[in-house]
Amino acid sequence: MNVFKKMRHLLRSRIDTHPTVYLTLCRIRPKTRQITVSKDTEIVIEVFPRSANTFAVAAFTFAQQRPVKIARHLHAPAQVIEAVRRGIPCIVLIRKPRDAVLSLLVREPHISAEQALKDYIRFYRTVVPYRDKFVVGRFEEVTTDFGEVIRRVNARFGTNFKPFEHTDKNPRKVFQLWRKCIKMRMAFARLKRRLWAVPQPNEKCSKRKQK
């Protein structure tokens, strides 16, 4: 399994800077189709892994109090480049390299420290040329005053997204909302597996004929 994960990671690192190739594959794959930038995407929030992407997306959604089409969690420069090309508001989050890499190594032990650091450098080196086309959100700011990041998005892109209010209670509500969403997705995934496991009428007939 680790060999497969390493090979997949290596392949991804070769193509995730190329929107035409990488995003096409993401749109084909059911797991990533809904989080890949498209014509109806309202905002893109991207970042190197383990850098508050989940909190930022959940807090942004919580603040809007309505469904928002967010492209997110691909952790690929291609997503940022495509957002810039389409003129879609984009936030690129950033965490100190040591903290981000160490956190990633705990979650993805099949990745070496050297490879993780190379991935970090590749991500931000690739998006730097587009720096004036997106808003940067530092990890420390996102986790303490994300509303200010959203205000910068509004100022840059002329949008009217509601800023997240970083009160004592709101971050806790955000995590509760996100956990609820995860539970719903897991329940839906289990239901799909059960439905696939149930033999269809035609299958039953063919099995009887074989007997």
pLDDT digits over 159-191, tens only? 999 999 988 888 888 877 767 766 655 555 555
Half-sphere exposure of 39 (CA within 13 A, CB side): 0
Percent of the chain with pLDDT over 90: 67
Determine the pLDDT at residue 194: 61
DSSP secondary-structure letter at 39?
A: T
Q: Which residue has the higher pLDDT, 123 or 13?
A: 123
Structure tokens, 71 = 């492209």
166 in helix, strand or coil? coil
Q: Report how far apart, in Å, the C-alpha atoms of 44 and of each of 32, 75, 178 are.
A: 14, 11, 18
Angstrom distance (rounded) from CA 38 to CA 99: 31
Alpha-helical segments (H) within the chain: 2-15, 19-28, 30-33, 53-64, 77-86, 97-107, 113-127, 139-157, 170-197, 201-210
Strand order in the sheet with 43-46: 70-72, 43-46, 90-94, 135-138
Query: Strand locations in the chain, DSSP E?
Result: 43-46, 70-72, 90-94, 135-138
Instruction: Give the tens place of pLDDT for each residue, 134-150.
Output: 999 999 999 999 999 99
Cα–Cα dist 75/157, whole Å: 22
Longest dimension (CA), the chain: 70
CATH hierarchy code of domain 2-166: 3.40.50.300
Residue 197 neighbours by CB distance under 10 Å: 7
Residue 91 has pLDDT above 90, yes or no: yes
- What is the pLDDT at residue 168? 85
Structural domain boundaries of the chain?
A: 2-166, 167-211
SS3 73: coil
Q: Is the pLDDT of residue 207 over 50?
A: no
The whole-angstrom separation of Cα 78 and Cα 210 is: 51
| Rg of the Cα atoms in the chain | 20
- In order of 7, 72, 155, the CA distances from 145 in angstroms are 38, 20, 16
